[in-house]
Amino acid sequence: MTVRTRYAPSPTGDPHVGNIRTAIFAWALARANGGQFLVRVEDTDQNRLVPGSVGRIMESLRWLGIEWDEGPDVGGPHAPYVQSERLHLYRAAADQLIAARRAYRCFCTPERLDAMRAEQAAQKQPPGYDGLCRGITAAESEARGRAEKHVVRFAMRKEGQTALNDLVRGEVVFENRLQDDFVALKSDGFPTYHLALIVDDVDMRITHVLRGEEWLPSAPKHLQLYEALGHTPTLFAHLPLILGPDGKKLSKRTGDTALLDYRENGYLPEAMLSFLAMLGWSLDDKTSIIPPEELLRSFSIERVVSNPAVFDIQRLDYLNGHYIREMAPETWRATVAEWCERGLPDTVARPVNAEVIAAAAPLLQERTAKLSDIADTVAFLFGYEAPEYAPAVLVERAGGEAEAVRILDAALVTLDGLSEDGWTRDAIEAAIRGLEGELGLKLRKFIPVLYVAEQGKAQGLPLFDSMALLGRQRALQRLRTARAHLD
Ligand code: GLU
């Protein structure tokens, strides 16, 4: 059996991280088994379509390096891969179900359905269609079907149970008496997700459906549809929920945003892929960083867990830092240049000075977690004055105004003693370390004040290197400015 999986997004907006995690798992499963992965656009809910989503969905996949064998853009033997272009197939399936009496036309008006729901709520009964149109004879249904607006409902079996053998959760049993005669084909001729999914997964020879846990309650509908249409169901794997570190459903605040926002915010695709791949799956008990080749070689559903995965941004930052440190120096330099071009204030001349970039890049590589932090970290290298800061920060860092004055004066005297030629990183370091004895303070106690003076904040690029980069005149001028703030 050739493993065939699909990613079936609805173009209702930019895909978020959880949705893309599903795509990654489906892609990895196909690749790990030498199978095929396809993309299918599920645009049956015409009211919810958002223009541009399909492009953003594909851009998200491409950014992560995900490749598909069949899809709306590349075509394939089961084209079209867009559901709104396949309506005749769903219509034919609905007709087949009606002929077999596994589906029926429902003529109930929205008003009747509203009244029915209100009544059910008042009686504290579970909501669901009451089956009024199920009893209409075939002849009457056909005749009315030609003249009246209607939907097609699937006639669920109401006795017994429907059992799903889920690849992640094992056996899950559903009571049929609780099932509803759901709408399979809407009055506008568009199918619902339930019908379209089955028709397409059969036609496209899908073997494994990987999807979010929120679809688990719909599984009995899908299994009964398979049976009624005379097809063997695909295998199903319902993937675990993704929770925030607060243990609650992932929200915008805890990281549930569009995948491409992560690109904007300075994450590398390798880090994102490795991070998302491990939300619910692991290679073994010890590997914490998964290169893409390893994922595509080793992914298996056996190692997907059913309990929720935690979306921990700090882990993503850690992975991003790891992949940044792995970058070749030239690639890293080009990346730094790109993010400086983008992020430095307009007051900095463009193109951004390549020498400064080249000097700062190795220092940045060790300590950058997100590419979007780069511009802010190096901004101090570009102006004559330090970036603006509140003078109170100097005082606070020193632990008092008099202390701040004492530290800055001592630094000025010592550093002023270095000549233009002697203004090297090592000489600066020696001079500043020499202040420990003179001030009677450990380096870590007074160095934040010098950071603020030079860089506008109490931490940043290593101080000695950056003072060397600034040059004697600028570095000393910044100390004088800081000192002047305190008078
Ligand atoms: N269109 C559905 C969604 O975006 C697909 C679910 C599935 O993979 O079957 O949630």
Work out which ligand 1 atom sits closest to the CA atom of 22. Answer: 8
Measure 209 CA to ligand 1 centroid, in angstroms: 10
The 10s digit of each residue's pLDDT in 424-449 is: 999 999 999 999 999 999 999 999 99
Query: Ligand 1 pocket test: which of 4, 5, 10 has the largest number of ligand atoms within 8 Å of its C-beta?
Result: 10
Ligand 1 geometric centre to CA of 213 (Å): 11
Q: Is the CB of 9 under 6 A from ligand 1?
A: yes
pLDDT of 487 > 80? The answer is: no
Nearest ligand 1 atom to the CA of 6 is 8
Tokens of 119: 């009544």
Can you tell me the distance from the alpha carbon of 275 to that of 262, in angstroms, rounded to the nearest whole number? 12
Average pLDDT of the chain to the nearest whole number: 97
pLDDT at 257 over 80: yes
Q: In what order do the strands lie in the sheet with 4-7?
A: 36-39, 4-7, 208-212, 235-239
Whether residue 462 is preceded by a cis peptide bond, meaning omega within 30 degrees of 0, is no
Q: Taking residues 172-176, what's their average pLDDT? A: 98
Alpha carbons within 13 angstroms on the beta-carbon side of residue 354 total 3
- pTM to 2 decimals? 0.94
Å from CA of 10 to ligand 1 middle: 7
- Cα 49 to ligand 1 centre (Å): 14
Establish whether 445 is a catalytic residue: no
Cβ atoms < 10 Å from Cβ of 125: 11
What's the 31 CA to ligand 1 centre distance in angstroms?
A: 20
The whole-number average pLDDT for the span 404-413 is 98
Q: What is the pLDDT of residue 196?
A: 98
Confidence band (pLDDT; 50, 70, 90) for 414?
very high
User: Does 270 contact ligand 1 (Cβ within 6 A)?
Assistant: no
Instruction: Flag whether pLDDT at 124 surpasses 80.
Output: yes
User: Ligand 1: does its nearest atom lie under 6 Å from the Cβ of 18?
Assistant: no
Nearest CA to ligand 1 atom 4: 9
Pocket test for ligand 1, best of 17, 42, 83, 86 (most atoms within 8 A of CB): 42
Mutate to test the pocket of ligand 1, among 202, 215, 241 (most ligand atoms within 8 A of CB): 215
Q: Which two tokens stand for residue 410?
A: 């001592």
pLDDT tens-digit series, residues 261-320: 999 999 999 999 999 999 999 999 999 999 999 999 999 999 999 999 999 999 999 999
Q: Are 154 and 109 in contact (CB under 8 A)?
A: no
Q: What is the DSSP string of 40-66?
A: -B----GGG--TTHHHHHHHHHHHHT-
Q: Which ranges of 183-252 does DSSP label H, i.e. alpha helix?
A: 193-203, 219-229
Least Cα distance to 390 among 447, 452, 314, 298 occurs for 452
Q: Six-digit token pair at 216?
A: 């688990």
pLDDT tier at 198, thresholds 50, 70, 90: very high
The 3-state DSSP class for residue 470 equals: helix
- CA–centroid distance, residue 371 to ligand 1 (Å): 32
Helix (H, G, I), strand (E, B) or coil at 391: helix
Q: Does any ligand 1 atom lie closer than 6 A to the CB of residue 10?
A: yes
pLDDT band at 1, cuts 50/70/90? confident
- Ligand 1 pocket test: pick from 211, 216, 239 the residue with the most ligand atoms within 8 Å of its Cβ: 211
Provide the pLDDT for residue 29: 98
Answer whether 42 contacts ligand 1 (Cβ < 6 A).
yes
Q: What pLDDT digit, counting tens, does each position of 11-50 carry? A: 999 999 999 999 999 999 999 999 999 999 999 999 999 9
3-state secondary structure 85-137: HCHHHHHHHHHHHHHCCCEEEECCCHHHHHHHHHHHHHCCCCCCCCCHHHHCC
Phi-psi region of 255 (alpha: psi -120 to 50; beta: other; left: phi over 0): left
**Which candidate in 124, 158, 221, 252 is catalytic?**
252
- Asked whether residue 126 carries a pLDDT value surpassing 90, the answer given is no
211 CB near ligand 1 (under 6 Å): yes
Angle between helix 219-229 and 193-203 (nearest 10)? 50
Q: Decide whether any atom of ligand 1 lies within 6 Å of the 485 Cβ.
A: no
